[in-house]
Amino acid sequence: MDSRQKEIENLKDYKYGFSTDIENIRAPKGLSEEVIKFISKIKKEPEWMLNFRLKAFERFKLLKEPNWQKPKYPKIDYQDLYYYSAPKSMKDKPKSLDELDPKLLETYKKLGIPLQEQARLNGIAVDAVFDSVSVATTFKEELTKQGIIFCSMSEAIQKHPELVKKYLGTVIPTTDHFFATLNSAVFTDGSFVYIPEGVKCPMELSTYFRINASETGQFERTLIIADKGSYVSYLEGCTAPMRDENQLHAANVELIALDDAEIKYSTVQNWYPGDKDGKGGIYNFVTKRGLCKGKNSKISWTQVETGSAITWKYPSCILKGDNSVGEFYSIAITNNHQKADTGTKMIHLGKNTKSKIISKGISAGQSDMMYRGLVDISSKADNSRNFTQCDSLLMGNKCGAHTIPYIKNKNLKSNIEHEATTSKISDEQLYYCNQRGLNQEEAVSLIVNGFCKEVLQQLPMEFAVEAQKLVGISLEGSVG
């Protein structure tokens, strides 16, 4: 009991809130063509890449920031941000882990990322992104044997330009919405995954994102391509140090599944949520979109969202191939002054496509939680099916929980089912647990975990344990 209590004490505050003193190289402050050219130059990018960025920037200048979302935030001054920040020692990229700045390694150790030996034991290949650049990718050799490409985006642009050129921007074009276009113009790094035909990736691939420097925005770009008949499971984790200011994180994630391929994308998002009075924290405005391009393909999103001051994202599936399947499992937890406007879009274009949405929202403190989703079945998507279930749990009477589903059906052979409930933890349930010797906090944690179980089950083992703990920690002190 004592050790558990200690652990909770330790974890009570944001445990990833340290920052690391590392010299950084930064692009000049502000957003302009020069800065984009600077980023492109420092990354030694070919010309087509620079043109891709500049095209996006041209478009960006015409766009207006959207303001239909529920959580309002003070206006972001896009000229007051650093768009590129990299640890200085990265200028000449190290060839092996031993050459990495020991301070960096220490940081990752604090974060609990298995960069070296642990990695092998856990069997997870990790690509870690620190501020803007990818630091190390473990397990490379073993993956290369199978023909799997798992590297940073900058490396992919250098080494596999044909793949990047073919797929980058096909799911999220440079002409997309405000934040996605901004990302296309200034993205700095991210992960690139290519699974060749018929290969089942033998281990979980994982990326760890961390924002370290202050006044920087993080704009990473991830591209995952699963060729015919392949399978990959990809994990993503995020943390940031505690700072008073709000930091912007606007990533783009593109998934492409060809015939018979399957991509499983799991996120445990734990950006710094701001302090108890709502000061500071990350603005998490991420665009995630998957395209089931081939027949019988499948994309499944699983997310556990516990951090960020504002979360505003809708991981989506475009079900273009016949018989393709899209899934979305989400747990979103908001506490104190956190705000979340999240959900998914399932766009059915092909025949016999299926989608399933399970969303669990928990709001506590003075937070606001919103599920916003779209299910659109087009007139050609015969025999399609969708099932949606969104449940919200409220803790305390100062928080809010909202559900706004958009349901569009243009096909008479297709069925859409949607259900949503909102409730609180009943006194009877708490009483039952108390009676059996659990204290208030334990009881709440048990009930909440039961509420989330459907989603937690979808996570890979290693993550599920962490996520379960995270769910408990995020709600500390919100009941009783």
Partner 1 sequence: MENQIKSNFEKIISKLNFSNLQKEIKVKNINNFLKKGFPNKRLEDWKFSDLKQIISNNFEDLNFLNEINTELKKVEIIEELEANKLIFVNGVLSNVDFKYENLEKIEIEKNADLNEEINQNALLNLNSAFISNYLKVTIKTGYQFKKPLVLYNYLTEELNSSGINTRLDLDIENDVALDIVNVSNKSSNKNFLNFRQKINIGQNSILKNYSLDINQTDSIKYMHKEINLSKNSHLEYFILSAGSKFLKHDINCSLNSEYGSISLNGIINLKNDQHHEIKTVINHNEENCKSYQLIKSVLSDDSKGVYQGKIFVDPKAQKTDGYQLSRALLLNENVEFNAKPELEIYADDVKCSHGSTSGNIDENSIFYLMSRGLSYSDSKKLLTNGFLNEVIEKITNENIKSFVKKITGIEV
Assess 119 for contact with partner 1 (CB under 8 A): no
Extended strands (E) in 142-286:
149-152, 191-195, 204-210, 221-226, 231-239, 246-249, 252-257, 262-269, 281-284
> With binding defined as CB under 8 A, does residue 440 bind partner 1?
no
CA distances to 219, 282, 359, 360, 407 from 390, rounded to whole Å, are 30, 25, 5, 6, 14
- In this complex, which beta carbon is closest to partner 1, that of residue 199 or of residue 370? 370
Place of tokens 């204290």: 439
Of 208 and 371, the one with the shorter C-beta distance to partner 1 is: 371
Decide whether 221 or 345 has the Cβ nearer to partner 1: 345
Cβ of residue 418: shortest distance to partner 1, in angstroms?
A: 4
- Report, in Å, the least distance between residue 173 CB and partner 1: 22
The number of residues in the chain equals: 480
**Looking at beta carbons only, is 170 or 379 nearer to partner 1?**
379
Q: Which residues contact 437 (CB under 8 A, 6 or more apart)?
A: none
Q: Please report how close the Cβ of residue 368 comes to partner 1 at its closest, in angstroms.
A: 9
Q: Return d(Cα 184, Cα 166) in angstroms, integer.
A: 15
- Total Cβ atoms within 10 A of residue 202: 14
According to the binding rule CB under 8 A, does residue 392 interact with partner 1?
A: yes
State how beta strands 339-342 and 368-377 pair.
parallel
- What minimum distance in Å lies between the beta carbon of 75 and partner 1? 22
What is the C-alpha R_g of the chain? 22
Tell me the closest approach of the beta carbon of residue 389 to partner 1, in angstroms.
Answer: 10
β-bridge mates for residue 283, sequence order: 248, 310
Residues touching partner 1, count (CB under 8 A):
34
Measured from the CB atom, is 40 or 445 closer to partner 1? 445
Smallest distance, partner 1 to C-beta of residue 41, A: 41
Among 396, 438, 441, 466, contact with partner 1 (rule: CB under 8 A): 396
172-185 as b/e: b if 16+ CB within 10 A: bebebebbbbbbbb
Q: Which listed residue (68, 74, 121, 437) binds partner 1 by CB under 8 A? A: 68
Torsion angle of C-alpha atoms 126, 131, 134, 138, degrees rounded to 10? -20
Name which of 415 and 439 has its Cβ closer to partner 1.
415
Least distance to partner 1, CB of residue 417, Å: 5
* Shortest Å distance, C-beta 390 to partner 1: 9
Find the binding residues for partner 1 in span 352-381 (CB under 8 A): 379
Q: Which of 221, 348 has the CB closer to partner 1?
A: 348
Contacts by 108-117 with C-beta closer than 8 Å and gap 24+? 108/135, 108/208, 110/16, 110/18, 111/16, 111/208, 111/210, 111/239, 113/208, 113/237, 114/138
Site map for partner 1, 399-438, x if CB under 8 A? xxxxxxxxxxxxxxxxxxxxxxxxxx--------------
Structure tokens at 392: 């919200």
Of 168 and 395, CB closest to partner 1: 395
Residue 270 Cα distances to 239, 393, 433, angstroms: 5, 20, 29
Whose Cβ is closer to partner 1: residue 148's or residue 401's? 401
x/- map, 160-199, partner 1, by CB under 8 A = ----------------------------------------
Smallest separation (angstroms) from partner 1 to the CB of 391? 9
Residue 416: CB minimum distance to partner 1, A: 5
Cβ distance 133 to 101 under 8 Å? no
Q: Which of 199, 454, 157 is nearest to 331 (CA)?
A: 454
| 302, β-bridge pairs | 266, 329
Residue 349 DSSP SS3:
coil
- Of 51 and 379, the one with the shorter C-beta distance to partner 1 is 379
Distances (CA, A) of 218 to 83, 212, 214, 285: 7, 10, 11, 10
Cβ 396 to partner 1 shortest distance, Å: 6
Residue 225 or 416: the one with the smaller Cβ distance to partner 1 is 416
**Contact window for partner 1 (CB under 8 A) among 32-40, 185-193, 226-234, 397-405:** 397-405
Where along the sequence are the contacts to partner 1 (CB under 8 A)? 68, 379, 392, 394-424
